[in-house]
Amino acid sequence: MIPMSDSFLVDTHCHIDLFQDPVKVVAETDEHRVFTIAVTNAPLVYRHTADLVSGSRYIRPAAGLHPELVATHGDQLEMLPELLNETRYVGEIGLDYSVPDGSGRIAQRKTLGRILEWCSADGSKILTLHSRRAATDVISALGTSFSKRSIFHWFSGTNKELEKACSLDCFFSVNLAMISSAKGANLISRMPVDRVLTESDGPFVKVHGEQARPANIGRVIDKLASIWGTQSDEARHRVYRNFRTLLGSGVAGE
């Protein structure tokens, strides 16, 4: 049992490199001791992001290719295998069907399939997944190979899709925009408590006009606590425990 005083805040999906002053965000994240996964949208920005967070005890860089960038940045895909040797964390990856274009969706599925193939060779990879309007296809692409180590970021599928994702033993990272909407809050209330993580998805999500970032992830915790009918301390502790489960028995942040 982890003592309550030793539970840290967790942000499993933040675009640190996209803040106007990323160095400041890194310093602030360390100061607040928020374990953070710094996702990247394209292979070409991975090394820059890895350098940005290299001095941080709490932030780890993730290598990925955002599905919405597959059409324009797909030529960077071949850079990924080498980057995947450098980090345990993978994201942002997934599918986005808000583009109606059929051929674009095919290219996204191909890309995701290849990335998952590369990742399946290494049983320790942790994935942060985008699945807007495409949850069913992301779930079937994952199959059973990534249970307990894939995270649906900002899940917005149906209740049925949620059940399917749960049956694969996936995690879900929830942010302030999601938890503030009726649909999002309903989904969160249906998620197994031991599968919920927190994310900022900064700088895209706004908190009272301010950009969401690891340091204000406590606001997500407060809302989670009210959904769970518990105290914020207990909610924070649960999320941290879930994060530890995700990482395995090792020390958080490894």
**Distance in Å, CB of 20 to Mn ion, minimum:** 17
**Distance in Å, CB of 185 to Mn ion, minimum:** 20
**212 DSSP 8-state letter:** P
Helix (H, G, I), strand (E, B) or coil at 89: strand
- Phi, psi at 153, each rounded to 5°: -90, 135
Query: Which CB sits closer to Mn ion, 161 or 201?
Result: 201
Query: Which CB sits closer to Mn ion, 129 or 141?
Result: 129
46 contact partners, CB below 8 Å, separation of at least 6: 40, 61, 63, 83
Rounded CA separation 180/195 (Å): 19
Query: Which CB sits closer to Mn ion, 30 or 201?
Result: 201
**Distance in Å, CB of 15 to Mn ion, minimum:** 6
Query: Which CB sits closer to Mn ion, 161 or 199?
Result: 199
**Distance in Å, CB of 237 to Mn ion, minimum:** 26
**Distance in Å, CB of 143 to Mn ion, minimum:** 23
- Phi, psi at 124, each rounded to 5°: -105, 0
Q: Which stretches within the chain are classed as H helix?
A: 22-31, 46-52, 70-73, 80-84, 102-120, 135-142, 159-167, 176-179, 182-190, 218-228, 232-247
Cis, bond preceding 92 (omega within 30 deg of 0) = yes
71 class by beta-carbon count within 10 Å (0-12 exposed, 13-18 middle, 19+ buried): middle
First CA to last CA across the chain, in angstroms? 19
Residue ranges that bind Mn ion, judged by CB under 5 A: 201
**Distance in Å, CB of 25 to Mn ion, minimum:** 15
